[in-house]
Structure formats: C-alpha cells, structure tokens
Amino acid sequence: MLVLFDIDGTLLHGAPEGHAHAMADAMRTVWGVPVVLDDVWATQPAGRTDREIARLVLRGHSVADVAIDACMREWIDLACRVHAQLANAHPPPVAAPDAQAVLASLKGQGVELALVTGNLEKIGRAKVAAAGLGAWFATGEGGFGSDAELRADLVKLARERASGRYPDDQVVVIGDTPRDIAAARADGVRVIAVTTGAHDAGALAGADAVAPHLTGALEILDR
C-alpha cells in the first residue's frame, strides 16, 4: 500500500507564517508588485498549491498570466531561498502529536509513505524536517506544488515516483481539506480526511472516511 500525506493541517499544525512570508517577499522581488501577507491569506490557501496561490495573488495586482508564467520558475527558486533565510525568524512548524507514532506504525507494516502537498518541494521538505518527520519521506518521491500548479496532478505524479506500482485500491491520500479529497478523486484513489485543519467533518464528507486525527486515520487503514 502507498499512503500519501498532505503537510499543513495534516502532518503539521499551526499557521505556516514563514512560508507565507517567503512567498510574498519573493513575489515583490520577482514581479515588482506590492504584495503583502494578507494577499496570501486572502486566497484561502488551504489545499491550494503554492503556484496557484501566487497566480491568484498576482492577478489581484493586475499581473498578466503571460508575465506570471515567464517568471514562475525564478519565483519558485527565490521563495525557497527566502524561506531558508527566514527559518529562525518565525516559529518552527509543529508536528501533529501523533504523527511520529502513526508513521512508525505504517512503516512497520511495510506501507510506503510519500508526501502530496501544494508546498514547493524545498519548503515542504524543510518544514517536515524541522518538525522531526523528514526521515520518513524519501527524496525523489511524492508530489509538490513546484511540480504542478493543479493539485489534481500531484497524486498521479506521486504514484509514478513511488518505488512500487500500486493499483487504485492500494493508494490512500490523507489530508485535511476538500481540495485533498478532490485531488484523490481525480486520480481514482481513496482518501481519508482528518479534522485537524480548518475544516470540520461536514465539509469533508466527500472523503471515504473522516477521522478526528491521524491516529483515527490509522485505525481506519488497519480495518
């Protein structure tokens, strides 16, 4: 089995302020527009890819799509560098209290683990590592916001990068937003939603199952 984990609101708790600052700072530098932190939050970023968030913010500042596309790779590189520079300026990310135990249990059962997240890869991996979870996720695997702008593309990509070839019924996404659910559905795989982010069980009713935390998701997988 392959289990694909979202990061923010799922593996990690708390607002990713350093991440949002890095995105805004890099947009100001690359496109020369007066982006502020509130512009990032206004996109309702939960479940979006960083590239999609950037596009929405920049459109709000009247930047044309052709100009966005022309500098997107430059922005990705700069945002990752700025995030690394800001590492000590903002509170570090905090792992979900049961994350270590759940990941250890799955790994002990021979389950392959990977990340599927809208985070740019270097930022996402840095956050997971800072929270003490980096060792569970192999480099070269997973799907990230630096790979594609559409979240629905990331599940397919993570499956292609996995060490094994898993049929649809052997792949499970674990996330905390309706967009995680939609991405799993787009690739025809199952999804367990956890209510540890900004959405309650009602908003996540489109998942195959909803759990109050990662431990609950593990219990569902075990069944």
CATH code for the domain of 123: 3.40.50.1000
Place of tokens 């690359």: 30
Helix count and strand count (H, E) for the chain: 9, 7
Residue 121: C-alpha distances to residues 4, 16, 76, 117, 140 (Å): 15, 15, 9, 8, 10
Return the pLDDT at 99.
98
Instruction: Please check whether residues 59 and 154 belong to one and the same domain.
Output: no
Q: Final residue of a domain: which of 64, 85, 106?
A: 85
Strand-pair category, 190-194 with 209-211 = parallel
Shared domain for 8 and 76, answered yes or no, is: no
Of 85, 120, 145, the residue that ends a domain is: 85
Q: 75 with 159, same domain?
A: no
The range of the structural domain enclosing residue 187 comes to: 2-13+93-222
Look at residue 62 and give its three-state secondary structure: coil
46 plus 73 within the same structural domain: yes
Decide which of 65, 85, 105 is a domain's last residue: 85
Same domain membership, residue 115 and residue 28 = no
User: Which residues are within 8 A (CB) of 53 and not within 5 positions of it... i.e. 6 or more apart?
Assistant: 23, 40, 43, 45, 118
pLDDT score at 90: 85
Same domain, 35 and 55: yes
Same domain, 106 and 66: no
d(CA 114, CA 4): 5
- The reply to whether 40 and 134 lie within a common domain is no
Low-confidence ranges of the chain (pLDDT < 50): none
Asked if 107 and 212 sit in the same domain, the reply is yes
Contact of 12 with 95, CB cutoff 8 Å: yes
Amino acid at 179: R
170 and 102 both lie in a single domain: yes
Q: How many independent structural domains does the chain possess? A: 2
Q: Identify residue 10 by its one-letter amino acid code.
A: T
Pair 139, 42 in one domain? no
Q: Are residues 116 and 216 in the same domain?
A: yes
Q: What pLDDT, on the 0 to 100 scale, is given for residue 93?
A: 87
How many whole angstroms separate alpha carbon 15 and alpha carbon 28?
21
